[in-house]
Amino acid sequence: MSPNAVTTTIAEPLPVLGRDVTVPLVTGGEVTYAALDYAASAPALQRVWDDVAAYAPYYGSVHRGAGYLSQLSTDLFENSRRTVAEFLGCRPGDQVVFTRSTTDSLNLLAAVLPAGCQVFVFETEHHASLLPWREARVSYLNAPRTPAEAVATLERALAERDSEGPALVCVTGASNVTGELWPVRELAAVAHAHGARIVLDAAQLAPHHPVDIAALDVDWVAFSGHKLYAPFGSGVLAGRADWLQDAEPYLAGGGASRAVARRSDGGVDVVWHSTAARHEAGSPNVIGVYAIAAACRALTEAGFDALVDREQRLVARVRAGLAEVPEVKVLSLFGDEAPRVGVLSFVVEGWNSSHFAAALSAEYGIGVRDGLFCAHPLVRTLLGTDPQDPGECGAPEAEPGERSLNAIRVSFGAGTPDEHVDRFVRAVRELVSDGARWNYRTEDGRCVPDRDGATA
């Protein structure tokens, strides 16, 4: 984030799309929808939507046209790259490559790893960080139970690695399951002390907390626009240029190539770009890129200090409310006092998590997430191996005894009104004490309200 970022006191949530949408309740009537699934996709900021709408009439091809709209769009596209670089505190020489998502960014990085690279990744990662390294030698590290243990585990693994070749550490900034902050700066120091590089999965960190590549001393940062209050399918991989420049393009095609010529033997010679364009083949998603840049500007101008303060007040309210319900167990790796962003997962004694989430939606108009959150090893570690009663709802295609191995996740951020958090806490308390007011059934693997209606 720019050192000149404006910081102001934010007493109200930032305006987002959908803030006035009403949804029907199975018990009758309608209620304003409480979107508490920010960790999956945050609602777009109204400011971002307005910026994109203002540009839309001027949409044109990027890097390809001589016309005014094409030139304007090209300038907007490259200015967006500079905006993102400033938002992330990029160093001189760093590149900002636009992708489709965090998953796409990390797969891009996996594709440019030098030969013989060894990758170290904790089992606690989201699948986007856990799975892309299929062509590399991967060491999966056990789930740590404290930040200090995370640092010690990585230290030991790097010290014991079996070669002096290239190595990469991949780590999250904030867990998509527990919301807990990871010791990124300390892990980066350990990685560099052992000659390894480190990539930060900032998908859950960037929307909630400043991310500064230089201050954290990480080599790359990856994040998604749809987590950062931008509505379109774009992502970012930002950081060191050398591995990106030395590798074959992630996609081969127009835009990545600087010159193409036929050879006398009938083949083709290609000179690839050495800039970020090397890995941005094809017509780019200029609208999505501009949306990310607009979100970066909006968050910077709002002031991250104030946004963090307000979100932490919401976190405290949710945690205090859930603590008053003995049947609720909040999941945590690092303990109750660990700092976290606005993401919490929990289970409720006597309830299948899918059933509970369905009741929150159908009876209270509250949208949360249930399941394993694309972090299956982590959730299984947090839940243990003793299955609870799956209740009347659950995914029938799951392995025997595994239907209860899911949890409920509530997540929120800069656009969340206080009322949504208060309604959620109240709904949890009422469901636990009084039970659901409606019957539910399993349909296509999901728990949904039953056509038979209310409970007796």
- Do 370 and 409 form a contact (C-beta atoms < 8 A)? yes
Give catalytic residue positions. Answer: 374
Instruction: Please give the structure tokens belonging to residue 94.
Output: 């760093």
**Global confidence as pTM:** 0.92
Give the torsion through C-alpha atoms of 352, 356, 358, 364, to 10 deg: 170
Q: Which of 425, 427, 426, 412 is nearest to 13 (CA)?
A: 412
- Each residue's pLDDT expressed in tens, for the chain with a length of 456 residues: 444 444 445 568 999 999 999 999 999 999 999 999 999 999 999 999 999 999 999 988 888 788 999 999 999 999 999 999 999 999 999 999 999 999 999 999 999 999 999 999 999 999 999 999 988 999 999 999 999 999 999 999 999 997 789 999 999 999 999 999 999 999 999 999 999 999 999 999 999 999 999 999 999 999 999 999 998 889 999 999 999 999 999 989 888 988 999 999 989 999 998 988 898 888 889 999 999 999 999 999 999 999 999 999 999 999 999 999 999 999 999 998 899 999 999 999 999 999 999 999 999 999 999 998 999 999 989 988 543 444 444 444 444 344 457 899 999 999 999 999 999 999 999 999 999 999 999 888 789 999 877 775
Q: Which amino acid is at 433?
A: S
